[in-house]
Amino acid sequence: MKPNADNPVFFMHIAKTAGSFLNERFVAALGESLTSLHVEHWLSDFGGLQRKLDAGMAFFSGHVMLGRWDMITRHQSRQFRMVTIVREPVEHLASHILWLDHYNDPENRVHYDRLDEAHRRVVDRIGALNICDTGQLDAYLTSLSGIEMRLFDNCQARYFLTTGQRDHASIRPLTLDDRIALGVALRRFDVVARQNHLETDLPRMGQVLGISLEHQDVRVNSGRSLRRINTDDPFVRKTLEKRTLLDQWLWRTANATLSKENVLA
């Protein structure tokens, strides 16, 4: 059934997974009047969401972790269909670090100034590193602060398992002991697409949701750092893998199948 206000869709937009591209595909399929993007900027209680639904919105997308979404929607009767995109973990973590590093470019100073204090300090710390040096990168990822733990430790799995609030539960390191809870959360999604296979996964997502979602070979919101993390270097990969073990379990599981019924088969 095509998404509508009585049959809405929530897209859990994990940062740096081609989510902006998917947003554009949904806007093209449904129209701007039925789509609400970056809901993290206004989503604080169900009242705001209810007003959007009453206005006919059918698609909601944002950097909103599943625990927070559940807190906000638990008292309403509509059954949201849920979708997300995941990405190969090592490449994802490298991209996430470089995304924050791109704020160190003097040309992006105005965007840096718009960040909150905590995120500016993360950007500053990354800017002080030689992230092309494996030793410095390893030392950094071994001594993450609380907010850096939220950003870089198994950051894809963290979307499924936490609220994103700045509390102890959201900054603790995630481990393979969390895979059972992750599997339960994963089963709730109607489609988990893979960034590396959008040419096949987007049409399948469209079939599940009753709309046409065609892949296009374009990049959206691809802010670039002036530096690079060489993920072809085996030691760099080992360094990044230390913070992505649960994400690797998530990636392997998502690769098994896309369907909600068989996601852990």
Token look-up 């989503």 returns 43
Mean pLDDT of the chain: 91
For the stretch 43-74, pLDDT in tens is 988 889 999 999 999 999 999 999 999 999 98
Mean pLDDT of 68-88: 92
Domain residue ranges in the chain: 9-88+179-209, 89-177+222-250
- In the three-class reduction of DSSP (H, G, I as helix; E, B as strand; rest coil), residue 208 is classed as helix
pLDDT at 98 over 70: yes
Residue 261: CB partners within 8 Å, gap ≥ 6?
none
Residue 208's Cβ-side half-sphere holds a number of Cα atoms within 13 Å equal to 20
pLDDT of residue 262: 42
Query: Lowest mean pLDDT: which of 53-67, 119-133, 247-261?
Result: 247-261
Please state, in angstroms and rounded to a whole number, the distance separating the CA atoms of residues 203 and 225: 31
User: Is residue 9 classed as helix, strand or coil in its secondary structure?
Assistant: strand
Q: Give the number of other Cβ atoms within 10 Å of residue 103's Cβ.
A: 22
Helix (H) or strand (E) holding 123: helix 117-127
**E strand or H helix that includes residue 101:** helix 89-101
The two tokens of residue 255 are 């690769």
Check pLDDT > 60 for residue 259.
Answer: no
Q: What is the pLDDT of residue 18?
A: 93
Separation of alpha carbons 250 and 246, rounded Å: 6
